[in-house]
Structure 1
Amino acid sequence: MFKLQELENLKQNLTIEEVLELLYTLVVLKKLSAIPHTRINLFNEKSIRFEDLKSQLKEVKNIYDVTEILDGLEKIENVKDDLFIELFNISQNVEIPSIYEAFEYREGLHTSVVSKQIVELSIKLLDEENESPIYVPFKDGLKVSELTTRKVCCEYDDSKKSFVASLLRLWDNKKIDFRLTDSLEKPKFSQENSLEKFDSVIAFPPLSLMKQFDTMGDKFNRFKIHKNVKRLDVAHFEHVISQTKNKAVILMPVGFTFRSGIEEEFRKYLIENNILETMIQLPPNMYSATSIETTLFIINKNKNNKNIQFINLKDEKFLTKIGRKTVLKDINEIVKIYLEKKVESHSRIISYEVIKNNNFNFSIDRYITKNESIPSSFKWIKLENVSIIRKSQTLKDVDDGENVVELSPSDFSFAGYTISGKKIKKININEKQFETYKLKPYDILVSAKGVVGKIGIVGENINYLLASQAIQVIRLEKDNDIKSEAICLYMYLKSDIGQKALMKIVQGTAMPQISTKELKNFNIPKLSVLEKSNVINTFNKEIEKYDEIAKLQNDILKIHANYLK
């Protein structure tokens, strides 16, 4: 099998894209020449040049649709005879990769590429018995055509894809209706002021693309939510919905599932209009050239209930290794879970009310958690009902200020109270801002940015303390026995149960964080007097154990310092 990388050594003054176009045009014509009466005699010649190839294409224009191929070749300049002869010989005598593989190789040199497994899964999630065309806007329509016998109607603003589509129609009789356009700016599957509707849509839009896009002049009235923002995820999604008659599968970045602002408003729109059927969290590294995490949204405009299915494919059940690469083990099993709406450790059916109570946050960890072990006897209250929650702010240093310690999560004591830290700032303690943000005894500290989930509790007899911007501060409001309540909250947040619950409200992957809004809605257990007493005893025992560990560590340091004695 010929290796496409070898073309890098042959291309001379041409680009790799141009070399691929020349080679695969020759390959396709070679196949057609075997058909009787095709009038393709190029391969009967002893000597051949690039101009001969173009002349041959012009001769058969009335027989085959080669206009895009000819237009593409006309743009290639300075093709040297020795290079062309080399490519001609390869097309004649060497087994080479398919057209799909070749142009995916070309694309992979410049950008991240949707894996073939994502494409296959997306196709199978549509109604398999439906033989109607699949609409694929934005990109990757040709990749969809590789894995289906259905007609593919695709839009792309890359003329090179029009070239490849023409090759595929000639080579494999693929049913591809390719429209050269930007799907957002000027969709071409339309008539006057109305868009064509498709039973089946698959979309892999460019993820988190930042670009100015004016929706005001849209004659198709596609955009209900997207207004005057540069991130185009919502606009891409709304375009897909506008051309969907029945079902659509759309790939989105995982951040789309939990980001606030316009994305939260759009998630609410999906739920309240009851068109979101299923969310499938994909494992990382399903793209080449990037480890970005993605999610498949399945839109169904003919749902018969208001529930949403969540499937977590990050579960090891679905994954296997091929060399160093992680891949999906069994796509058919995933499709079966989707169709049968199975409820298992990796799959849940969630009601409208639950999602609404979660502020329309679709983060998979809110709804699917491994080894859930929350006691059924617990009664729950919202944290905002018993506390003030505030994200700390940075205060400016001043030359004549007082020494103030700014705590970071690394300063939190492993057990017991946190009373000091390493960073000293000069702060005007008479300013109102300092009074607002200074820490008080029994404040609970939650690391909420970067390294999330570390927990601290501020001790008594402290000097001036502030928290860094990476920390959310929880101050209990109860009039009596704040100390006991604070210890119980601290121990809950540190516990395995509390940590799992906190991880459910973490947002972001590159920079994880916990927002003030999420903490306000966070549920904590309401304990009985006996339960509180047990927790406080555990708190004191933990301090005792930690003191023992600290003493042992100190003894070890002494041994190291006196190894000759």
Structure 2
Amino acid sequence: MQKYKTKELVISLYDLMHQYGIRRHNENEIALKLAAILVLSKEGKLPKGLKLSQSLAEYKGEWLALVESLKASEDSQIQRVFSHDNALEDLPLPFLHSAINTLLKYEDITLESPAVDSIRTIISNFTSSTNEGFADFSVYLLANALLGDKSGKTTYLMSPASLPLVTIISEESESVYYETINQSGMTADALSLMSENEFEVSYSDALDKPSYTKSKNELETFNYGVSFSPMGATVPKHISDNIDTYDRFIIPTKKVESANILHLIKQCRETVIASVTEGFLYSTMEKDLRQYLVDQGMLKAVISLPSGIWTGTAVKTSLLLIEPNGNNQSVRFIDVTGEEFIKKTTRRLLSLRNIDTILEYLASDEQLACATTVSVSTLKEQEYRLDVGRYLLDPEEKTVNKILEEAQTVTLDSIVRFERGLPVKPDEGDYTVLEVGASELNDIGDISTPTKKAYISESERAKNQSGILQPNDIIFILKGSAGKLGIVPEDVPTTGDGCWMVNRSAIVIRPISDKVNPKVLYAYLKSHIGQTQIASLIKGATIPNISLKELKQIPVIVPSDDEQEQAIECIDKSRETQQAIEKLVLEQQTRQDQLWQL
């Protein structure tokens, strides 16, 4: 057997399409249907005993006759694949001539796993031509391994992005059922025709009108279930309100990824694998579902995947391993984002490796750098947060935690007051204020003078005097450049026009206790200990953010008198250094401007 022949075939077909100017949204459909015709020909399954031949390449009439016979096939899957549209009939003859000659080269070659290799090649090489949002193929291999032995088992998969896993499982099982809302040229059926074991395909909305049912009130059940859910998609109101004859959506949800989980645990008995975005693991919106999975003993494991594992997005995701009939008293957390488990495939995309090691760590209760087991009682104490970083600390975080445990500390909110910016309008108000945001926060010390103007009324200014920035206020960015901070210079204007205020992405930290000087607190937050704590709070792959509730609770070491003096001296020196740099830059700019003046 020649392992890469299917890959070479698919790449050749794409190259021909590009060579002949066939650049359209249905490139995947054309490539897979042509490959399916080759497989059917090799297996003697073309209608009327037809075979691929040179005459098909020479005479379009014969080609059209072949396509018509496929449309009229008694095999419902063949008929459905080739009756969907006229994509094959509309192909230009010069392209057909070359494409059929390419297929004929593989007529006498054994193709290994043509369905698996075809979809794998498309994901790896032609991501720009597909909008399915597939994961790297290694993620599907991991999911397949997590399901384990499939002999004598039925597997149900849903959602478009699960299609690659369908082809993998069909290599091992004759009982695979795939439900997808996306017809997309019937590519799922085309892949089924190429599989060693054809799988059943149903084009329907599993959440709204599921296909696999016993009656109008009862779903058909399977052993295993999998969903790689669309990210950020919302469900219709009747689903969020649980207007459902199958009583699936007992936990209110507005997200498709959550609704898919509820559907799967109703449709499947033994093991369910579901992909979720990072926000699912800690957001308030999904807390009820997390609590339900944990309290019912269904959640077995959370596997954190690296950013860059999906085509077309850097959103961070995890896999949930769920046992609908389980009695789990703990949850295994595994972080596969480290170098042990990932390799770069392109500048932007990653792939998983050492899948066997991941399975070993899953089966173990050993405390490891990248894996830990957390009891249900602990998860309850943590308000059912499932973000892996909450339970697995990197070496730096462990060192910092040890230092904090041995030091005298106070919580941040016990020594400071938090202030928001003032309500402003774009172009009207009695006073002009200057907005401070992330761009004004430099890495050395004082905040640069802001340039963005806003306006505030006299009444709002009177009510919110505390929102005007004061000398040595600490500015902390909560959203966007999350964790960035700066300290307000001592000569900041505090009355009249030109006062400063923070924008909506930031918060003001204003010390109120004599236990710590503002400069000392700023130095602490900028220190290695402070930055490590802050980094652990950052969530969100698309827009990084920090919860103010969590920021308030970070421990602050109470400094000695000597440490306070050193910190104050450090900040004062930083300010002097910054002022000197700004002076030198201004002098250089002045000299530059004097050359060849207009």
TM-score range, shorter chain: 0.7 to 0.9
1:468 aligns with 2:500: no
Give the corresponding residue for 1:524: 555
Over residues 494-519 of structure 1, what are the superposed CA-to-partner deviations in whole Å (9 max), with x where a residue is unaligned?
22222222222222222212232332
Structure 1 pair 40–73 and aligned structure 2 pair: CA distance change class (3 A): farther
Contact 2:188/2:201, CA 8 A, preserved across alignment: no
- Name the SS of the counterpart of 1:317 in structure 2: coil
Structure 1 pair 401–240 and aligned structure 2 pair: CA distance change class (3 A): same
Give the corresponding residue for 1:495: 527
Give the corresponding residue for 2:4: none
Distance, in Å, in 1 between the alignment partners of 2:191 and 2:568 is 75
- Name the SS of the counterpart of 1:223 in structure 2: coil
**Shift, 1:313, TM fit:** 1.9
Distance, in Å, in 1 between the alignment partners of 2:375 and 2:366 is 15
**Shift, 1:418, TM fit:** 6.2
Distance, in Å, in 2 between the alignment partners of 1:141 and 1:400 is 54
Over residues 111-149 of structure 1, what are the superposed CA-to-partner deviations in whole Å (9 max), with x where a residue is unaligned?
132221010001111233764122111124542233230
Give the corresponding residue for 2:3: none
Give the corresponding residue for 1:506: 538
Distance, in Å, in 2 between the alignment partners of 1:283 and 1:13 is 32
Structure 1 pair 414–538 and aligned structure 2 pair: CA distance change class (3 A): farther
Contact 2:445/2:578, CA 8 A, preserved across alignment: no
**Shift, 1:488, TM fit:** 4.7
Distance, in Å, in 1 between the alignment partners of 2:39 and 2:267 is 34
Give the corresponding residue for 2:83: 71
Distance, in Å, in 2 between the alignment partners of 1:385 and 1:404 is 30
1:20 aligns with 2:26: no
- From 304, 326, 335, the equivalent of 2:359 is 335
- From 245, 248, 251, the equivalent of 1:225 is 251
Q: Which amino acid aligns with 1:365?
A: G
Distance, in Å, in 2 between the alignment partners of 1:453 and 1:82 is 59
How is 1:249-328 mapped onto 2 (pairs within 5 angstroms)? Answer: 249-260=273-284, 262-301=285-324, 303-322=326-345, 324=347, 326-328=350-352
Contact 2:64/2:89, CA 8 A, preserved across alignment: no
Distance, in Å, in 1 between the alignment partners of 2:437 and 2:187 is 57
Contact 1:50/1:79, CA 8 A, preserved across alignment: no
Q: Percent same amino acid at aligned positions?
A: 21
1:455 aligns with 2:455: no
1:40 aligns with 2:49: yes
**TM-score, normalised to structure 1's length?**
0.83
Q: Which runs of 5+ in 1 are unaligned?
A: none
Contact 2:180/2:206, CA 8 A, preserved across alignment: yes
Contact 2:17/2:95, CA 8 A, preserved across alignment: no
Distance, in Å, in 2 between the alignment partners of 1:328 and 1:141 is 17
Structure 1 pair 52–384 and aligned structure 2 pair: CA distance change class (3 A): same
Distance, in Å, in 2 between the alignment partners of 1:500 and 1:241 is 39
Distance, in Å, in 2 between the alignment partners of 1:140 and 1:468 is 39
Distance, in Å, in 1 between the alignment partners of 2:94 and 2:475 is 71
How is 1:44-123 mapped onto 2 (pairs within 5 angstroms)? Answer: 49-54=62-67, 56-57=69-70, 61=74, 66-72=78-84, 77-78=89-90, 84=96, 86-94=98-106, 98-102=114-118, 105=122, 108=127, 109-111=129-131, 112-123=133-144
- Name the SS of the counterpart of 1:33 in structure 2: coil
Structure 1 pair 383–273 and aligned structure 2 pair: CA distance change class (3 A): farther
Distance, in Å, in 1 between the alignment partners of 2:83 and 2:492 is 77
How is 1:388-537 mapped onto 2 (pairs within 5 angstroms)? Answer: 388-396=417-425, 401-402=430-431, 404-412=433-441, 421-423=450-452, 425-431=454-460, 432-440=462-470, 443-458=473-488, 463-464=493-494, 465-478=500-513, 481=514, 484=516, 486-520=518-552, 522-525=553-556, 527=558, 531-537=559-565
Distance, in Å, in 1 between the alignment partners of 2:308 and 2:546 is 25
Distance, in Å, in 2 between the alignment partners of 1:414 and 1:233 is 40
After alignment, is 412-421 or 154-163 more displaced?
412-421
Structure 1 pair 357–422 and aligned structure 2 pair: CA distance change class (3 A): farther
Give the corresponding residue for 1:29: 40
Which structure shows the higher helix fraction?
A: 2
Contact 2:475/2:508, CA 8 A, preserved across alignment: yes
Distance, in Å, in 2 between the alignment partners of 1:166 and 1:345 is 44
**TM-score, normalised to structure 2's length?**
0.79
Structure 1 pair 394–499 and aligned structure 2 pair: CA distance change class (3 A): farther
Give the corresponding residue for 2:212: 189
Give the corresponding residue for 1:245: 269
1:178 aligns with 2:201: yes
Distance, in Å, in 2 between the alignment partners of 1:382 and 1:353 is 25
Give the corresponding residue for 2:164: 143
Q: Which amino acid aligns with 1:504?
A: S
- From 378, 381, 398, the equivalent of 2:407 is 378
After alignment, is 157-166 or 274-283 more displaced?
157-166
Q: Which amino acid aligns with 2:292?
A: Y
Give the corresponding residue for 1:7: 17
Distance, in Å, in 2 between the alignment partners of 1:221 and 1:443 is 54
Structure 1 pair 383–303 and aligned structure 2 pair: CA distance change class (3 A): farther
CA RMSD of aligned residues (A): 3.9
Contact 2:115/2:195, CA 8 A, preserved across alignment: no
Distance, in Å, in 2 between the alignment partners of 1:335 and 1:258 is 25
